[in-house]
Structures are given as structure tokens and as C-alpha cells.
Amino acid sequence: MLNVNVKNIDMKFNTSNEVFAPRNVDKGTLAMLSIIEFKNDDKVLDLGCGYGIVGILSAKIVGATNVVMADIDSRAVELTRGNIDLNNVKGIEVYQSDGFKNINEKDLTLIISNPPYHADFSVPKEFIEKGFNRLAIGGRIYMVTKRKDWYKNKLVSIFGGVKITEIDGYYIFMAEKRTTIYSSKKKLKLRR
């Protein structure tokens, strides 16, 4: 059992060696959570939820029915469902999903992700592009990685801008959706 306090909220988690960061909450995730400002009416997606810390914390702040969680890994989804019960935040929707494939929710206001950044960029590319399409105008996406340049460039090309905060070697990216079309497509239209 992993006991955690984030934003002065106590939580507990069952974990497994089969999922990411089983012994301690990932430092990048903690860094990202330390700067996220939740709004009472946020509709949150925890994308790549692992055993559930981000989504469960979100549910304790904005309410369980305003939170959706997803992970490609069946063991992560199983642990998340158990941890939802353990932390008494019933009402969260949890999906086993490859990216956005099985997620129907739209008009999200907050997408939070610690994407796999030790592999190629196909996963975060999809998270950013499809995340943009699922966000409401004014919605935000937060991502944390140890790599800066690719994420900065990709987020700027889609959202038109990005705020980057560095904490202990982790880069936390926040981009806000301000229009319905990708920033790079707007520039192409202007050139014609």
C-alpha cells in the first residue's frame, strides 16, 4: 500500500510491479500536480492513468463525475478501479483505451498526462493532436517529460503557444486551446 499526500489531500494506492512507478509516486507527476490549478467545474481526463493518482486527486478536487481516466494496460485499469473504491471516489469513468480510441468524452477542460517519453514520439503526438480536438475552448493540457524541445515545438504547432515550467529536471508543459483549428493550419491558410 502506497500512502500519498498531494495538495494536502491524503490518498492510498495499491500498486504492482507491472505498472509505472510502483514503489513511489513518480517525481515528474508530483511536480506537474504541484502547479496544476484545478477549477471547480473542470472536466478532467487522466490520460495514461497508471494506478490512478492523477485522476483520483482530480476527483477529490472537482468531483468524481467530472473525471475520466484511461490507460492502455489492463492491469493499470484494474488497479485504478480498485483504488477508486479504496479512496471513496466512486463515479469516475475508467476506460481501457489505446490513447483516445475508447474515450467518447468531448468538451474536456483539463487533460493531464505523463506520457511515455523514452519511446518514439507517436504516443505523445497522438495525445497532443487528439487532445486538442477533445478540449473545449479555454481547456488546458498538461504534460510532464524530461524532454523539452520536441514537446515545446509540437504543442506550439497545435495550440499556438505553451507555458513551460522546469522542476527538478522535469519539464511541465501547459497549453490552452484558444481556437478550433491547429495553429499550424491557421498559418497555412494565411499564406494562401
Assess whether pLDDT exceeds 60 at residue 22: no
Assess whether pLDDT exceeds 60 at residue 191: no
Assess whether pLDDT exceeds 70 at residue 119: no
Q: How far is Cα 109 from Cα 100, in angstroms, rounded to an integer?
A: 15
Letter string b/e over residues 44-62, b meaning 16 or more CB atoms within 10 A of that residue's CB: bbbbbbbbbbbbbbbbbbb
Assess whether pLDDT exceeds 70 at residue 117: no
List the beta bridge partners of residue 51.
Answer: none
* Percentage of the chain exceeding pLDDT 90: 79
Indicate the DSSP class of residue 172: E
Helices in 3-137 by DSSP H: which ranges?
27-35, 53-62, 74-86, 122-134
Q: Do 163 and 136 contact (CB within 8 A), yes or no?
A: no
Assess whether pLDDT exceeds 60 at residue 188: no
- Quote the pLDDT of residue 163: 98
Assess whether pLDDT exceeds 60 at residue 190: no
CA angle 14/109/119 to nearest 5° reads 55
Letter string b/e over residues 99-130, b meaning 16 or more CB atoms within 10 A of that residue's CB: bbeebeeeebbbbbbbbbbeeeeebbbbbbeb
Q: Mean pLDDT throughout 148-168?
A: 96
Q: Mean pLDDT throughout 139-145?
A: 97
CATH number listed for the domain at residues 2-191: 3.40.50.150
Q: What is the pLDDT of residues 55-99, one digit of tens each?
A: 999 999 999 999 999 999 999 999 999 999 999 999 999 999 999
